[in-house]
């Protein structure tokens, strides 16, 4: 049995204008001295309350094990945004959401594996959500309450068979069914002007095949092909449907544990072939989802872990990514073929170090992480107005835990160099409140933070 709960009270993501046209000055807006200041007519808010319980039970039936995994989660979100990012009252957004999800999975797997290992199972999901978005403008108040119920189940099985010594073949198949019942109303200044109750269901067969070979006792080569599926859904405000997403993913790689397990080196190359890729964009604080007919993601990744001596662990990863649309048209019919996918940097590099030492009847852990991310685009059009530069972040953490391991206390620091970087960019408004794609809004990543954390384990 496991339980968790969290309660967050934040100001949330505050958008910043990189520049202010003369129209804002003429309208009487306060112009901040730099991008670290803000003048807003409403304080941003982001409150989240969430809790969950889960349980895993196993029954040993001799040659087989029956496993049950049950989970329940609930959450409540309250958010407020000044989406025009000025102290003029042009457009504010309020968002409220309550959700509950229940999942149940049963697995049956063999215990007497010699050459054959297998697992079969069933999965069920019931999720209910109620939300409302309010768009508030001078003389206009638009409210869109919604409710969504999802019921999904799946049957799956997978088996791995040792064909000859060191060579194994894996095959699997999953059948998925998902149904969504969606309801919405549109209220303009308190009067209902639209409503709908669309619903739909989707099914998918998603196979997997893989092969792996032990080149040595501590070195394994592998290759796999897997089909994935993500269900469709409905647009905010008018219930227009978007299509389910499908992907064939192909991967080859090498996994190794060397030097008496003091060095782990893993390498992989992958190719993802998407059909109807779901593309989510946020404009003026409102999300919309469209489908890109075809897209491909390909890349390579290396992961290293070294333990020079027992108390010190060093880690590093490096990844190259080429993610592009093959068939995709924007809302005016222009082709975006060859454009990079949003939030898909070409390069990602990380370094980490952890040192452990006995102290005061417990264990002291010192950890540092450094990550570097290449530049990214935030819009499918790859417009440089909506992009972020390469970013380096450094985090640190000092933890002490008693020998009983019942609790721990930690001092942490994030973004220790106080790096100023854009984490997202979207379309802003002009001084009259009309959306203008030449006036971007930037959301910056979190500045340098320090904190003290106490955790209790039960």
Domain boundaries, the chain: 247-257+276-458
CA distance 105 to 204: 18
CA distance 5 to 75: 10
Judge whether 154 and 169 are in contact, CB under 8 Å: no
CA distance 436 to 136: 18
Reported as a pLDDT band with limits 50, 70 and 90, residue 113 is confident
pLDDT, residue 10, reads 85
> Which of the two residues, 222 and 17, has the higher pLDDT score?
222
CA distance 423 to 134: 25
- Please determine, for residue 12, whether its predicted confidence score (pLDDT) is greater than 80: no
Q: Which of 11-20, 158-167, 312-321, 445-454 has the lowest mean pLDDT?
A: 11-20
Size of the chain in residues:
458
CA distance 123 to 455: 32
- Please determine, for residue 283, whether its predicted confidence score (pLDDT) is greater than 80: no
What DSSP letter does each residue of 286-326 carry, written as one string?
EEEEEEEEEEEEEEEEEEEEEEEETTEEEEEEEEEEEEEEE
pLDDT, residue 156, reads 98
Judge whether 342 and 383 are in contact, CB under 8 Å: no
Q: Which of 10-24, 218-232, 268-282, 419-433 has the lowest mean pLDDT?
A: 10-24
Q: What CATH number does domain 247-257+276-458 carry, 2.40.170.20, 3.10.20.30, 3.30.1540.20, 2.40.50.140?
A: 2.40.170.20
pLDDT, residue 83, reads 87
Reported as a pLDDT band with limits 50, 70 and 90, residue 287 is confident
pLDDT, residue 189, reads 95
Reading the block at residue 234, the tokens are: 């409905």
Q: Residue 2: CB partners within 8 Å, gap ≥ 6?
A: 53, 54, 55
pLDDT, residue 171, reads 97
- Please determine, for residue 142, whether its predicted confidence score (pLDDT) is greater than 90: yes
Q: Which residue has the tokens 């809004």?
A: 441
pLDDT, residue 457, reads 78
pLDDT, residue 292, reads 94
Average pLDDT over residues 413-428: 94
Judge whether 402 and 361 are in contact, CB under 8 Å: yes
The separation between CA 421 and the C-alpha centre of its own chain, rounded to angstroms, equals 19
Cα angle, residue 78 at apex, residues 458 and 414 outer, rounded to 5°: 60
CA distance 294 to 274: 6
CA distance 352 to 176: 39
Reported as a pLDDT band with limits 50, 70 and 90, residue 202 is very high
- Please determine, for residue 196, whether its predicted confidence score (pLDDT) is greater than 80: yes
Q: Which of 265-274, 327-336, 384-393 has the lowest mean pLDDT?
A: 327-336
CA distance 176 to 109: 20
- Please determine, for residue 195, whether its predicted confidence score (pLDDT) is greater than 90: yes
> Which of the two residues, 69 and 283, has the higher pLDDT score?
69
DSSP-derived secondary structure letter, 446: P
Reading the block at residue 405, the tokens are: 């391991």
pLDDT tens digits for 223-264?
999 999 999 999 887 889 999 999 999 999 999 999 998 999
pLDDT, residue 456, reads 84
Mean pLDDT, all residues of the chain: 94
- Please determine, for residue 176, whether its predicted confidence score (pLDDT) is greater than 90: yes
Reported as a pLDDT band with limits 50, 70 and 90, residue 337 is very high
Share of the chain above pLDDT 70, in %: 99
DSSP-derived secondary structure letter, 340: B
Reported as a pLDDT band with limits 50, 70 and 90, residue 43 is confident
Judge whether 196 and 184 are in contact, CB under 8 Å: yes
Reported as a pLDDT band with limits 50, 70 and 90, residue 35 is confident
- pTM (two decimals): 0.90
Judge whether 321 and 299 are in contact, CB under 8 Å: yes
Q: Residue 74: CB partners within 8 Å, gap ≥ 6?
A: 50, 51, 52, 98, 99, 100, 101
CA distance 150 to 129: 9
Identify each DSSP E strand in 45-139 by its residue range: 45-60, 64-82, 92-110, 116-137
Average pLDDT over residues 106-130: 94
Reported as a pLDDT band with limits 50, 70 and 90, residue 36 is confident
Average pLDDT over residues 77-100: 93
The phi and psi torsions of 324 (rounded to 5 degrees) equal: -140, 155
Reported as a pLDDT band with limits 50, 70 and 90, residue 435 is confident
pLDDT, residue 226, reads 98
- Buried (b) or exposed (e) across 333-355, using 16+ Cβ within 10 A? eeebeebbbbebbbebbbbbebe
pLDDT, residue 276, reads 97
């Amino acid at each position: 049995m496991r339980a968790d709960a969290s309660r967050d009270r934040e100001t949330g993501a505050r958008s910043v204008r990189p520049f202010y046209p003369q129209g804002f000055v003429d309208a009487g807006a306060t112009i901040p001295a730099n991008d670290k200041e803000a003048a807003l007519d409403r304080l941003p808010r982001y409150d989240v309350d969430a809790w969950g319980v889960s349980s895993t039970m196993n029954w040993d039936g001799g040659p087989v094990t029956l496993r049950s995994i049950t989970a329940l989660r609930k959450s409540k979100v309250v958010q407020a945004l000044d989406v025009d990012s000025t102290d003029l009252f042009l457009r504010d957004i309020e968002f409220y959401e309550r959700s509950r999800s229940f999942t149940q999975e049963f697995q049956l797997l063999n215990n007497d594996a010699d050459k054959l290992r297998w697992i079969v199972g069933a999965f069920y999901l019931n999720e209910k959500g109620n939300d409302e978005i309010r768009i508030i403008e001078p003389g206009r108040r638009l409210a869109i309450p919604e409710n969504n119920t999802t019921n999904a189940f799946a049957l799956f099985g997978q088996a791995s068979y040792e064909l000859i010594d060191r060579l194994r073949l894996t095959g699997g198949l999953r059948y998925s069914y998902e149904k969504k019942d969606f309801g919405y109303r549109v209220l303009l200044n308190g009067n209902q002007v639209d409503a709908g109750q669309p619903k739909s269901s989707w099914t998918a067969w998603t196979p997997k095949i893989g092969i792996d070979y032990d080149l040595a006792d501590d070195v394994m080569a592998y290759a796999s092909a897997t089909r994935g599926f993500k269900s469709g859904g409905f647009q905010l405000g008018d219930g227009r449907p978007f299509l389910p997403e499908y992907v064939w993913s192909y991967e080859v790689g090498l996994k190794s544990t060397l030097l008496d397990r003091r060095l782990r080196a893993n390498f992989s190359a992958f190719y993802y072939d998407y059909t109807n890729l779901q593309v989510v964009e946020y404009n003026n604080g409102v999300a919309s989802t469209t489908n890109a007919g075809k897209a491909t993601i390909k890349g390579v990744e290396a992961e290293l872990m070294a333990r020079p001596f027992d108390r010190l662990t060093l880690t590093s990863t490096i990844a190259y990514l080429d993610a592009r649309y093959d068939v995709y048209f924007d809302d005016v019919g222009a082709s975006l073929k060859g454009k990079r996918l949003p939030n898909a940097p070409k390069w990602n590099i990380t370094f980490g170090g952890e040192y452990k030492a006995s102290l005061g009847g417990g264990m002291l852990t010192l950890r540092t992480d450094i990550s570097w991310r290449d530049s990214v685009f935030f819009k499918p059009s790859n417009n440089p107005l909506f992009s972020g530069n390469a970013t380096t972040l450094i985090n640190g953490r000092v933890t002490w835990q008693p020998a009983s391991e019942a609790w721990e206390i930690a001092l942490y620091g994030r973004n220790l160099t106080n790096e100023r970087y854009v984490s997202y960019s979207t379309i802003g408004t002009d001084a009259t409140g009309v959306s203008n794609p030449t006036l971007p809004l930037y959301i910056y990543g979190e500045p340098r933070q320090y904190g003290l954390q106490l955790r209790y384990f039960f």
